[in-house]
Structure 1
Amino acid sequence: SPKLRTLARGLSPAYLRFGGTKTDFLIFDPEKEPTFEERSYWQSQVNQDICKSGPIPSAVREKLELEWPSQEQLLLREQYQKKFKNSTYSYYLNGRIATKEDFLNPDVLDTFISSVQKIFQVVEETRPSKKVWLGETSSAYGGGAPLLSNTFAAGFMWLDKLGLSARMGIEVVMRQVFFGAGNYHLVDENFEPLPDYWLSLLFKKLVGTNVLMASVKGQAGSKLRVYLHCTNVNQSRRYKEGDLTLYAINLHNVTKHLQLPYYLFNKQVDKYLVKPSGLDGLLSKSVQLNGQTLRMVDDQTLPTLTEKPLRPGSSLGLPAFSYGFFVIRNAKVAACI
C-alpha cells in the first residue's frame, strides 16, 4: 500500500519489528526460495493442525525439562549474550477489563516506573554493560482495550511512556503495533492513521535524543507531567542546536498553565497543542493540532505539522485532558549544542 509506506516513512528512522508467535520459529534468508520439498512439508504440517492435536507427550516434556538447565547456561554465556541487547516488554492494563478512567489515572502511569526499575536492577546484577530496549509495548495486553487503545485517550499513556523511558535510560522503544491485529495499532485496517500515530509523528519531528530534567512545582505533578529534551534539529530547518522541546500532559479536568523558569521566560516558544477532534471527545479516533484536524493530503503526502508561535513571556496553556509540545527557540542550552 503506497499509503501505508507513506505513513511508515513519516516515522523514520526507526526499527521495524516483526512480532508474533510464528516469528519465534522463523529464519529469514532474503536470498533463498523454499524448495518444493520444503513447501510440501510445511503444507503438510498446516493440514495436520498439530498444535490442536493434543497435549505435549510426557516423554517430550521430560526431555525438555531435563535439557533446559544446560540450554539456559548456553544462552547466558558471554559469547552468546554479547551479540544482543537486553529486551523487555510492557503493558499497563488487561485490555478485556480496562476502563477510560484507567487510561487517565496517574497511578496507573506510575506503575511503569517500578517496572523499569526492576528491569534495570536485574540488568545491573547480570549484564551491567548492556543497554535496555523496550521491545514490545502498548497500553493494554490482549490486543488492547476495544474503543480505548485506538482513541485519543490512549495518547496519555503512550506519551508518558516515551518520556519516562527516555528519562530512565531505555535506549529503544518499540510500539506494539504499527499495523495489524488488535486495537492498539497506530494505523487501522483501512490504512487510516489513529491518534497515537499523529502523536508518534510529532514526537519524531520535535524530540531529540538528549534527555534533560524537568519537573512541576507543587502538588499538581502527578496529573501535570512534563518531560524535556534537546530539540530534534534534523527534522526541521526552523530549529537549531541549543533549542529545547518540552512536552507535557494534563490529566486534570481544568486548564493548567506552565511557566518557564526566568532564564527561559523571554524566549520565543512554538506550541503544538494536541486535542481530540469531533464530538467523541477522548474516545475520538482523530486529533486536532493547534485547532486543525490532522489528515493526510493524499496517499503519498503527510500534512504539515504547523506550529503556533507564542509571545515571549506567555504561559504555556494546556486545556483539560490534552497534551502538547513546546519548542523553546534560541535557548542556547549548552547540553544541546
Structure 2
Amino acid sequence: MDLKCIFSLAILVSQISLSSTQNVNVVIQGATSIGETDDNFVCVTLDWWPTEKCNYNQSFNPLRIKVGGSLQDQVVYEVGEVKNCPNFMKNKDSLFGFSQGCLPMERWDELNKFFNQTGVKVTFGLNALLERNRSQIEKGLWFGDWPSQNARDFMKYTISRGYKVDSYEFGNQLSGAGMGASVEVEQYGKDIVVLKNLVKELHPDPKTQAKVLGPSGYYDEKWFNSFLEVSGHDVVDGVIYHIYNLGPGDDPNMITKSQDPSYLNQVAQTYKGVLNIVNKFKPQSGAWVSEFGGALHGGAKDLSPTFADGFWYLDQLGMASTYNHKAFCSALLWHRLIGSTILAVTQESNPNLRVYAHCAKKKPGISIIFINLLNDSSFNITLSNYEHQSHNLRSTDVAKPNFEFRGSKDREEYHLAVLAGNIQGQIVLLNDVPMVPTETFDIPAMEPKLVNASTPISITAHSIVYVTIRDFQAPAYA
C-alpha cells in the first residue's frame, strides 16, 4: 500500500494564569476532510406566531429560511376548497394556546416576493395534524390518516406562480412523545410516503423536485429508527430534528450552562445518534438541525439577546459540523468565512478552549474558530506544521511536530468581545470596534485585522476569534 503523506496544523497554546502556564496542543489534520456541510448550513426559522407572541427576529443573507415552527400544524391554506381563513386566536384549550389559523395566498405571494428579493432557499413546514382526531385515551396523541388535499392545492398554487420551495417539512415536533402533540410512528411513516408521492407527482423532474424532510422533532432513537424503516428507502431526503439543549428559558442556571464545557459536550451523543441513523439509512441530504434555540419557550431573556449566547451557539455550529450535519437552523461571520469542508481537530488539554476548523470559504486556506469560555484566562497561540507519514493514519493517531509554521501572508483575524467585559451585554466589539447598525440600519462593515504570521494569536478571556490562514496548504480543499 502506498504511503500516505498527511499534512496537519498544530496549534501550541499557552494558557496564562497567575499560578501556572499550561500548554495545550491542538492538531488540525488538513489532508482529508471528515465531512461536508450544506452550502446553506446556517439558516433561520420564520415561525408561525401571531403578533401577540412575536418577540424576536434575525436576518442575514444569503441563507435558508424555514417557514413553519410551533404553530405549523394548526395552519390551513386558503386555496381550493378552503374559503374561510381565520387568524390565530388565543385559546387555552388549543395546542400551544392558540386556535387554528390560516395562510391567505395573498400573504404567501408577499412572502415569496421577499424570498425572491433576498435569494433565500425555502423550507416550508406542512400541517401534519390536519383533520386528525385527538385521542381521548392517550394525552397528546393524534390519530387518523393525513388528508393531503389542502397540501396538494397549496403546492399546485405555488408551482403555478413559479415560486420555488426547496423542501417540505412534514409536521413539527410530532415524533416520540412530541411537544403538545404526537403521532404514532407507523402512521407518520405511512403519511410521509403519501407526501413523497405527492411531491413526485407535482414535481416530475428529479432535478427540480422538492425534498421531503422529517420528522422535525426531538431525537428519539427508537422512534427515528422505526420511522425510517416504515417509510422505506428513497422517501425521506433529509433527517431533521430539534435541539434545545439548554432547557427552559427561565432556568436561573442558564448562563452557567452555556459556559460549562462538560454540559456543552452532552449534546454530542445526540449528534452521534443521528449520524449513525443517517449512515444506516443513507437519506440523500443527510442530517439537518432544523431548530436550535438553546433555550425553550422563546429563549432566555438574560442569555439569548446577549454576547454570552455566542459561546454555546458557535460551539454547537462547530460540533454539529464535525458530525457531518448538512444544515443548522437558527452566525454571520461563520457564514462568510467557514467553508463546507470540515477538518478533524484534536485537543488533549483544556476543554474551556473550543476549537473548530474548516477549509476557508471560496478562497484558499483554512479558517479556525476559537471560543474561550474562561473569564480569567487568556491564551497565546503559536502555530506549528506537522508532516506525518503512515500507511493508514487514523483520527486517533498523534502526529509529531517537526517544524514551526512560518506563513508568508498576514493572518486575517476577527476578535469578538463584549463592551466593558460584561458577557450579558448586547454591544459586541469586533477588533475593539462596537458593532452597531449604520444610520440606514444596515449591518456595519466587518473587516479583519491583518496580523503578521510570525506573531502568536492572542485569545483574550471570554472572547470568540475567527482566524483565516490563506497560505496553509491543506490537501483536503485542493
Shared fold (TM-score, shorter chain, > 0.5): yes
Q: For each residue in 1:70-115, what CA deviation from the matched residue of structure 2 results, as whole angstroms up to 9, or x when unmatched?
A: 5245143237x62531101112222221332211100111012111
Output one character per residue of 1:34-70: Cα deviation in whole Å (capped at 9) or x when no partner.
Answer: 96x423xx47x959886279x9573898995687575
Q: Secondary structure at the match of 2:271?
A: helix
Instruction: Compute the TM-score of the two structures, normalised by the length of structure 1.
Output: 0.74
2:331 counterpart of 1:171: no
More helix by share: 1
User: In structure 1, what is the equivalent of residue 360 of structure 2?
Assistant: 231
134 and 62 in structure 1: CA distance in 2 versus 1, 3 angstrom threshold: closer
Q: What TM-score do you get using the length of structure 2 for normalisation?
A: 0.54
Residue in 1 that maps onto 2:396: none
Q: Which amino acid aligns with 1:96?
A: D
Q: C-alpha displacement at 1:310, in angstroms?
A: 1.1
- Cα deviation for residue 264 of structure 1 reads 3.6
Residue of structure 1 equivalent to 2:455: 314
Matched residue SS, 1:133: strand
Q: Which runs of 5+ in 2 are unaligned?
A: 1-57, 99-132, 146-183, 193-229, 386-403
Label 1:170 to 1:304 Cα distance change in 2 as closer, same or farther (>3 A): same
Residue 213 (1) aligns with residue 344 (2): yes
| In 2, Cα distance between equivalents of 1:162 and 1:64 | 34
The match for 1:249 is 371
* Letter matched to residue 66 of structure 2: R
Q: Which residue of the partner structure matches residue 75 of structure 2?
A: 26
**Alpha carbons 1:92, 1:108 under 8 Å: kept:** no
The question of whether the paired residues in 1 share the 8 Å contact of 2:417 and 2:428 is answered with: yes
Q: What is residue 324 of structure 1 aligned with on the other side?
A: 465
Q: Which digits, 9 at most, give the CA deviation of each residue in 1:217-252, with x for residues without a partner?
A: x421x111111111113xxxxxx3x21111111112
Tell whether the 8 Å contact from 2:285 to 2:326 is kept in structure 1 after alignment: no
Checking the alignment, whether the CA contact within 8 Å between 2:365 and 2:472 is kept in structure 1 is: yes
What residue is the counterpart of 1:156 in the other structure? 311
SS at match of 1:152: coil
RCO higher in structure (CA 8 A, sep ≥6): 2
Cα 1:78/1:287, change in 2 over 3 Å: same
Structure 2 CA distance for partners of 1:213 and 1:225, relative to 1, 3 Å: same
Map 1:251-290 to 2 at 5 A.
251-252=373-374, 253-262=376-385, 264-267=405-408, 268-278=410-420, 281-290=422-431
Q: Is the 8 A contact 2:378 2:460 kept in 1?
A: yes
Residue 38 (structure 1) aligns with: 84
Instruction: Between 82-91 and 20-29, report the one with greater CA deviation.
Output: 20-29
Q: Verify: 1:109 aligned to 2:264, yes or no.
A: yes
CA distance in 1, matches of 2:76, 2:418: 42
Q: Give, in whole Å, the separation in 2 of the partners of 1:133 and 1:113.
A: 14
Distance 1:214 1:228 in 2: 7
Which whole-Å CA distance do the structure 1 matches of 2:135 and 2:327 have between them? 40
2:302 is paired with a residue of what secondary structure? Answer: coil
Q: Give the whole-Å Cα distance in 2 for the aligned partners of 1:213 and 1:285.
A: 33
For 2:7, the equivalent position in structure 1 comes to none
Aligned residues of 2:355 and 2:371 also touching (Cα < 8 A): yes
Paired AA for residue 71 in structure 1: Q
Residue-by-residue CA offset, 1:277-328 (whole Å, 9 max, x unaligned): 246x110111000000011223363211121111122111100111110010
User: Contact (CA 8 Å) 1:212, 1:228: kept in 2 or not?
Assistant: yes
Mapping of 1:173-188 within 5 angstroms? 173-175=328-330
Q: Check 1:256–1:57 CA distance in 2 against 1; reply closer, same or farther (3 A cut).
A: closer
Task: Structure 1: state its 5+ residue gaps.
Answer: 1-6, 176-199, 234-239
3-state DSSP of counterpart to 1:24: helix
TM-superposed CA distance for 1:331, in Å, is 2.1
CA contact (8 A) 2:241 2:288 kept: yes
Distance change in 2, residues 1:19/1:141 (3 Å): same
SS, match of residue 158 in structure 1: helix
In structure 2, relative to structure 1, the CA distance for the partners of 1:219 and 1:61 (3 Å cut) is closer
Q: Which structure 1 residue ranges, 4+ long, deviate > 4 Å from structure 2?
A: 32-35, 45-50, 59-70, 125-130
Label 1:58 to 1:106 Cα distance change in 2 as closer, same or farther (>3 A): closer
Shift of 1:19: 3.2
Q: Secondary structure at the match of 2:318?
A: helix
Instruction: Find the partner of 2:288 among 125, 133, 146.
Output: 133
SS in 2 for 1:295: coil
- What secondary structure does 2:454 align onto? coil
Cα distance per residue 1:145-194 (max 9 Å; x no partner)? 2211211111110111111111110000001xxxxxxxxxxxxxxxxxxx
Aligned residue in 2 for 1:197: none
Distance 1:243 1:62 in 2: 51
**Mapped partners of 1:60, 1:224: distance in 2:** 46
- The alpha-carbon distance between structure 1 residues 28 and 14, as it changes in their structure 2 partners (threshold 3 A), is farther
Corresponding residue for residue 232 of structure 2: 78
Give the RMSD, CA atoms, in angstroms.
3.3
Contact preservation (8 Å) 1:215, 1:225: no
Counterpart contact for 2:372–2:464, Cα < 8 Å: yes
